[in-house]
């Protein structure tokens, strides 16, 4: 190679390192984030400016109303006097004093104040009972305590004799023994026989037997009728009871609709289509007005329990369709694999098919539960005083006549917290199941 060629070749090599330089301003820090997320193109930039203006416009009008809120007053007129004296008559200020004055009524309704400890304890027992079911890290031995929690909660809320929930809980023991005995014959016979025997026990034996035992050994607490329930306590009682009961019932309906048995399939389809085809408010009026006509004369069936039953059936119809979609999404090879292992129908469903179907159905199930919990406000139309119904009672007093937005903001915030918690748990469960499948 000649010297000229060597000089030309060496001209492409750097003999010294360049000094480190700072990156361009547009490629680092806040400017980079703004350019990539808010102003990547001229169209996105215009939309960002419009959105920021809309946010500023809303906050500039709502912000002072919140920030100037008055919390210490005994009436709406006193709130206005405080506002005029401190901020001026034209100032925007919320009268949150109605929340501090009536929060007990919004939470507990007309429940006796001396018994507030009972729904409070029931709420924490509900959370403790749900924990072993919702979180796998808690030992499974606590599931037995979780199964007893609903009966303890019923006793705390309604009171009366302790023997009534005790003998109702005994029905599950009777059902378990019946299923074990009849299971030696045939699984379908065991299922039908268990349902019939437990239903007859609850209908004709449990309550009279509890009353007889109570006459000999009276143990109980003050009975509180459900007519005194109200506020968020009523919404939680109806919503959580319907959620807990509708999930297993919805799964059974989904399996029944997917069954090859003609009668079982058609009955499930008829139930689901009839329930879904009628608005919930109509079913609530049915529970309130018509259900007693189908009961024996002289029967006094608690209105809240009637509503819980009707809302449970309504939710179960929707859950059944969500779970049926999950069953349809399970690959056919999973069913064939269960058959190749020699598993019968119930074993294959319990061990292989249903776990996969329920995992697929988690978003739809939680979405149905959130809608159900919000729909508990419809009970106001049949005379039950949920939080929205109590706003009318609060405004009926001379002290708070004319107040609106403060009550609705508080109620909306409480419902948002509950629904947001359910949504976050759904996301947590989805992430957990994805990790376990890797």
pLDDT tens digits, 273-298? 999 999 999 999 888 877 667 666 66
Together in a domain, 209 and 248: no
Q: What is the DSSP string of 302-350?
A: -HHHHHHHHHHHHHHHHHHHHHHHHHHHS-HHHHHHHHHTT--HHHHII
* CB-count burial class (<10 Å; 0-12, 13-18, 19+) for 60: exposed
Cβ neighbours around 277 below 10 Å, total: 8
In a domain, 17, yes or no: no
Model confidence, pTM: 0.84
Reply yes or no on whether the pLDDT at 343 is more than 90.
Answer: no
Give the pLDDT of residue 157. Answer: 92
Together in a domain, 140 and 274: no
Helix (H, G, I), strand (E, B) or coil at 397: coil
In a domain, 132, yes or no: yes
Give the pLDDT of residue 130. Answer: 87
Together in a domain, 202 and 250: no
Domain boundary among 221, 249, 266: 221
Q: Which residues pair with 221 in a beta bridge?
A: 160
Reply yes or no on whether the pLDDT at 139 is more than 80.
Answer: no
In a domain, 168, yes or no: yes
Together in a domain, 395 and 283: yes
Together in a domain, 188 and 136: no
In a domain, 154, yes or no: yes
Together in a domain, 380 and 418: yes
Long-range interactions of 145-150: CB distance < 8 A, separation 24+: 147/172, 149/125, 150/241, 150/244
Together in a domain, 374 and 387: yes
**What's the average model confidence in pLDDT over 26-48?**
85
* Residues making up the chain, counted from first to last: 438
Together in a domain, 317 and 391: yes
Give the pLDDT of residue 180. Answer: 82
Together in a domain, 433 and 400: yes
Domain boundary among 203, 221, 239: 221
Q: pLDDT grade, residue 234 (50/70/90)?
A: very high
Whether the Cβ atoms of residue 356 and residue 332 lie closer than 8 Å to each other: no
pLDDT tens digits, 378-397? 998 888 888 988 888 888 88
Together in a domain, 38 and 143: no
CA angle 302, 304, 307 (to 5 degrees): 110
Q: Specify the higher pLDDT residue, 98 or 289.
A: 98
Q: pLDDT grade, residue 233 (50/70/90)?
A: very high
Together in a domain, 400 and 257: yes
Together in a domain, 53 and 176: no
Reply yes or no on whether the pLDDT at 9 is more than 60.
Answer: no
DSSP 8-state code for residue 290: I
In a domain, 80, yes or no: no
Reply yes or no on whether the pLDDT at 3 is more than 70.
Answer: no
Residues spanned by the domain of 415: 106-111+227-438
Give the pLDDT of residue 262. Answer: 84
Q: Among all chains, which residue has been given the structure tokens 């299971």? A: 183
What are φ and ψ of residue 175, in 5° steps? -65, -40
CA angle 106, 104, 97 (to 5 degrees): 80
In a domain, 141, yes or no: yes
**What's the average model confidence in pLDDT over 257-285?**
89
Report d(CA 316, CA 369) in Å as an integer: 10
Give the pLDDT of residue 317. Answer: 93
Whether the Cβ atoms of residue 425 and residue 130 lie closer than 8 Å to each other: no
In a domain, 89, yes or no: no
Give the pLDDT of residue 147. Answer: 86
In a domain, 370, yes or no: yes
**What's the average model confidence in pLDDT over 75-87?**
88
Q: Specify the higher pLDDT residue, 332 or 187.
A: 332
- Total number of domains constituting the chain: 4
pLDDT tens digits, 384-432? 888 988 888 888 888 888 888 889 999 999 999 999 999 999 888 888 8
């Amino acid at each position: 190679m000649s010297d000229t060629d060597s000089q030309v070749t060496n001209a492409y090599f750097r003999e010294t390192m360049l000094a480190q330089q700072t990156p361009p301003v547009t490629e680092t820090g806040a400017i980079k984030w703004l350019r990539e997320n808010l102003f990547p193109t001229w169209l996105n930039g215009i939309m960002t400016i419009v959105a920021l203006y809309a946010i500023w416009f809303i906050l500039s009008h709502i912000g002072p109303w919140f920030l100037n809120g008055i919390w210490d007053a005994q009436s709406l007129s006193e709130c206005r006097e405080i506002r005029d004296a401190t901020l001026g008559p034209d100032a925007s200020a919320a009268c949150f004093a109605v929340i501090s004055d009536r929060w007990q009524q919004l939470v507990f309704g007309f429940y006796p104040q001396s018994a507030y400890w009972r729904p409070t304890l029931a709420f924490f027992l509900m959370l403790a009972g749900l924990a072993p079911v919702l979180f796998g890290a808690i030992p499974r031995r606590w599931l037995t305590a979780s199964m007893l929690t609903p009966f303890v909660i019923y006793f705390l809320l309604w009171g009366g004799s302790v023997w009534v929930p005790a003998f109702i809980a005994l029905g599950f023991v009777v059902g378990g023994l019946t299923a074990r005995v009849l299971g030696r014959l045939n699984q379908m016979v065991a299922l039908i026989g268990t349902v019939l025997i437990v239903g007859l026990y609850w209908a004709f034996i449990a309550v009279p037997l509890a009353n007889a035992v109570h006459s000999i050994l009276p143990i109980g607490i003050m009975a509180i009728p459900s007519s005194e329930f109200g506020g968020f306590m009523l919404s939680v009682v109806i919503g959580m009871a319907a959620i807990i009961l509708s999930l297993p019932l919805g799964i059974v309906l989904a399996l029944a609709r997917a069954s090859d048995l003609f009668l079982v399939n058609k009955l499930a389809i008829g139930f689901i289509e009839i329930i879904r085809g009628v608005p919930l408010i109509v079913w609530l009026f049915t529970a309130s007005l018509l259900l007693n006509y189908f009961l024996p004369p002289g029967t006094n069936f608690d209105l809240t329990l009637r509503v819980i039953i009707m809302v449970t059936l309504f939710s179960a119809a929707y859950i059944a369709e969500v779970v049926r979609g999950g069953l349809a999404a399970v690959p056919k090879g999973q069913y064939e694999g269960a058959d190749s292992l020699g598993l019968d129908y119930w074993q294959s469903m319990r061990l292989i098919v249903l776990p996969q179907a329920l995992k697929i159905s988690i978003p739809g199930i939680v979405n149905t539960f959130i809608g159900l919990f919000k729909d508990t406000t419809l009970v106001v139309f049949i005379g039950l005083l949920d939080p929205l119904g109590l706003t009318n009672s609060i405004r009926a007093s001379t002290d708070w006549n004319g107040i609106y937005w403060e009550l609705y903001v508080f109620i909306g915030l409480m419902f948002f917290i509950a629904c947001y918690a359910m949504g976050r748990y759904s996301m947590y469960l989805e992430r957990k199941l994805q990790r376990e499948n890797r």
